[in-house]
């Protein structure tokens, strides 16, 4: 305990130096989406590798088919200590529209808003601020104790904001080198300003495109109307049948692998006091639209979805054009939970469409990818250990939460490296990630660093 206290005290007294290092990284314009910034991305990778190496975590910039990875290794904790892999990303989103920023997005500063100190810069939260909480916790351990309590591999990518084209090939090629007992992923939020969180569930995704074709070309509705099949009507009819009047998805077999929330989960989520009225109210809504019999939190964490994301067909320009189009298309996606199999969900959807397709129509599909859901038992040893360490830092029990979205790297770690992930982050819903005036609370940064120092201690104990 005295050891951990000394490390925490070191983090407190070194906060200024720690912020200066964070600001160095934030000044690098590592926008991965824009090739004009490729050199800046490489500079950010170099900065991370040099910083880790100077701390005693031997790291190198590693080439990929795209922007480089940074890989570092520390083996000084001994054979019996656990081996963790820390994942983060050094790239950031573009900054447009620049005129909406209150200051230069690459000139970080601490500003005070509503009595709260905030680090303002592109990447302050996503993900440079978050990854630096881990770097600085490791630095404090190494400075005070001369060692880390765990063996560590660091993996940083530079294409997270550009759909990570190099990640799967890199993981495939370097699986043996990267595999660890558990991954630490720092790209998520706290439950609220005071309550830290470990995310234990992520929904999966299936994305498909459906194109219904009828006549050989667009037709005049006066000449062909009522004689010719209209593919917009056909598609709308099929899509409107995806849900019944209770909001349940009607594709046969769709719910295979979907488990009801357990009594324990329901009790935990109940205790979180989620304000569903405010959640919907923030976006101008008031009536939950999901399956009957579930709370809003259950809708977004524990239930699968079928959503039409876009429909295209016919004439949508100015004025009137009396046309019966030759084709209509839709983009349709499914959020998956539990053990739902993406291939079976896709097949189920395609069969659902084909079964309802009238004669004289043809249908094509385009596969836009998919991933399984991730769900980890909330009483698993890694999760329990991390939860306790976070609770110790923040003085209240850390929440075990679900997430409605997907984090592909977590799925890849699970299915390519057989490794679970601890999803711990200190962001807030109002951090404006990807938007102008992105910020990270100073409290998130400082206590996030302290939190990781505690988590490392707990994992190594």
Query: Could you give the CA distance from residue 116 to residue 439 in angstroms, rounded to a whole number?
Result: 11
- Regarding 431 and contact with Zn ion (CB under 5 A), the answer is no
- With respect to Zn ion, which residue has the nearer C-beta, 213 or 431? 431
Residue 295 contacts residue 276 (beta carbons within 8 Å): yes
- With respect to Zn ion, which residue has the nearer C-beta, 187 or 327? 187
Q: How far is the CB of 128 from Zn ion (least distance, A)?
A: 11
Is the previous residue joined to 97 through a cis bond, with omega within 30 degrees of 0? yes
Q: How far is the CB of 424 from Zn ion (least distance, A)?
A: 17
- With respect to Zn ion, which residue has the nearer C-beta, 88 or 304? 88
Q: Under rule CB under 5 A, which residues in 169-188 are in contact with Zn ion?
A: none
Site size toward Zn ion (CB under 5 A) is 1
Query: Could you give the CA distance from residue 335 to residue 419 in angstroms, rounded to a whole number?
Result: 22
Q: How far is the CB of 89 from Zn ion (least distance, A)?
A: 8
Burial class of residue 302 (count of CB atoms within 10 Å of its CB; 0-12, 13-18, 19+): buried
Q: Under rule CB under 5 A, which residues in 73-132 are in contact with Zn ion?
A: 126
Query: Could you give the CA distance from residue 438 to residue 297 in angstroms, rounded to a whole number?
Result: 26
What is the crossing angle of helices 442-460 and 381-394, to 10°?
130
Q: How far is the CB of 174 from Zn ion (least distance, A)?
A: 23
Residue 362 contacts residue 213 (beta carbons within 8 Å): yes
Q: How far is the CB of 124 from Zn ion (least distance, A)?
A: 12
Contact flags string 317-356 toward Zn ion, x per CB under 5 A: ----------------------------------------
- With respect to Zn ion, which residue has the nearer C-beta, 32 or 265? 32
Query: Could you give the CA distance from residue 32 to residue 446 in angstroms, rounded to a whole number?
Result: 27
Q: Helices in 69-220 by DSSP H: which ranges?
A: 128-145, 167-173, 175-178
Residues comprising the chain, all counted: 461
Q: Which two tokens stand for residue 440?
A: 């990270």
Which residue of this chain has its Cβ atom nearest to Zn ion in the complex?
Answer: 126
| DSSP helix/strand/coil, 361 | coil
Query: Could you give the CA distance from residue 292 to residue 337 in angstroms, rounded to a whole number?
Result: 17
Q: Which two tokens stand for residue 255?
A: 């719910």
Q: How far is the CB of 154 from Zn ion (least distance, A)?
A: 19
- With respect to Zn ion, which residue has the nearer C-beta, 420 or 438? 438
- With respect to Zn ion, which residue has the nearer C-beta, 126 or 213? 126
- With respect to Zn ion, which residue has the nearer C-beta, 126 or 431? 126
Q: How far is the CB of 122 from Zn ion (least distance, A)?
A: 10
Q: How far is the CB of 433 from Zn ion (least distance, A)?
A: 6
- With respect to Zn ion, which residue has the nearer C-beta, 88 or 149? 88
Residue with tokens 């830290």: 196
Would you tell me which residues interact with Zn ion (CB under 5 A)?
Answer: 126
């Amino acid at each position: 305990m005295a050891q951990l206290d000394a490390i925490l005290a070191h983090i407190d007294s070194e906060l200024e130096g720690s912020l200066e290092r964070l600001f160095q990284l934030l000044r690098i314009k590592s926008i991965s989406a824009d090739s004009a910034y490729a050199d800046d991305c490489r500079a950010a990778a170099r900065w991370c590798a040099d910083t880790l190496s100077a701390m005693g975590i031997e790291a190198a910039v590693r080439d990929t088919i795209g922007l480089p990875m940074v890989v570092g290794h520390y083996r000084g904790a001994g054979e019996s200590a656990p081996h963790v892999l820390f994942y983060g990303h050094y790239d950031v989103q573009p900054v447009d529209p620049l005129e909406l920023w209150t200051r230069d997005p690459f000139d970080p500063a601490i500003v005070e808003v509503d009595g709260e100190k905030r680090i303002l810069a592109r990447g302050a939260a996503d993900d440079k601020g978050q990854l630096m909480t881990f770097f600085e916790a490791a630095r404090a351990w190494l400075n005070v104790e001369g060692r880390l309590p765990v063996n560590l591999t660091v993996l940083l990518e530079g294409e997270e904001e550009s759909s990570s084209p190099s990640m799967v090939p890199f993981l495939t090629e370097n699986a043996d080198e990267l595999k660890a007992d558990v991954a630490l992923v720092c790209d998520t939020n706290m439950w609220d300003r005071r309550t830290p969180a470990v995310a234990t569930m992520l929904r999966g995704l299936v994305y498909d495109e459906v194109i219904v074709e009828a006549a050989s070309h667009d037709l005049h509705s006066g000449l062909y109307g009522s004689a010719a099949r209209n593919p917009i009507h056909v598609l709308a009819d099929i899509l409107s049948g995806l849900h019944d009047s209770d909001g349940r998805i009607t594709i046969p077999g769709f719910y295979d692998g979907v488990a009801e929330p357990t009594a324990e989960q329901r009790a935990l989520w109940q205790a979180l006091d989620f304000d569903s009225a405010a959640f919907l109210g923030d976006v101008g809504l008031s009536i939950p639209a999901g399956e009957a019999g579930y709370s809003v939190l259950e809708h977004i964490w524990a239930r699968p979805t079928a959503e039409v994301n876009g429909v295209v067909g016919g004439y949508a320009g100015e004025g009137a054009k009396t046309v019966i189009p030759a084709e209509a298309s839709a983009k349709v996606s499914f959020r998956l939970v539990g053990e739902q199999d993406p291939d079976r969900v896709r097949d189920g959807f395609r069969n659902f469409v084909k079964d309802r397709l009238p004669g004289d129509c043809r249908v094509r599909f385009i596969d836009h990818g998919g991933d399984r859901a991730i769900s980890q038992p909330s009483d698993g040893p890694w999760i329990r250990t991390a939860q306790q360490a976070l609770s110790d830092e923040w003085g209240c029990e850390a929440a075990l939460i679900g997430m409605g979205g997907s984090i592909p790297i977590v799925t890849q770690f699970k299915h390519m490296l057989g490794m679970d992930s601890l999803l711990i982050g200190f962001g807030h819903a109002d951090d404006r990630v990807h938007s102008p005036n992105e910020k990270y609370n100073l409290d998130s940064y400082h206590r996030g660093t302290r939190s990781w120092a505690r988590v490392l201690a707990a994992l190594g104990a």
